[in-house]
Amino acid sequence: MSSFINISDSSFANEVLNSKIPVLVEFSAVWCGPCRQLEPVLEELFQELDRNIRLARIDIDSCVETTLQYQVMSVPTLILFINGEARQRVSGKQPRDRIEEKFFPFLE
């Protein structure tokens, strides 16, 4: 079972911006091979974290409004939202240690 929640333009504010816990959003696409390769890494990290965090996925092809709002130019792009604010982002398929390095300081 996936830890990801699927987000749409209409659910973004409620599920991400209004979330009481941090949300790591993956901007992806069904045709994106690197996105599919990255998702198991994110799932694994999510399972290992003992902190409250949610994983969310946005399909850039069906959620154009949110994709444009956050200026996502390539997939996968990961953006960490804390208290409704985009705090950190990384684009492209990254190795696990790079993801930890970029996002974990914000989750401590």
From residue 30, alpha-carbon distances to 23, 42, 61, 86, 95 in Å are 21, 17, 9, 24, 20
CA terminus-to-terminus distance, the chain: 27
Reply yes or no on whether 63 is catalytic.
Answer: no
Task: Report the alpha-carbon distance of residue 10 to residue 34 in Å, rounded.
Answer: 26
Please identify which of the residues 7, 32, 72, 99 carries the catalytic annotation: 32
Please identify which of the residues 35, 53, 58, 80 carries the catalytic annotation: 35
Reply yes or no on whether 35 is catalytic.
Answer: yes
Q: Would you please indicate which residues are annotated as catalytic (active-site) residues?
A: 32, 35
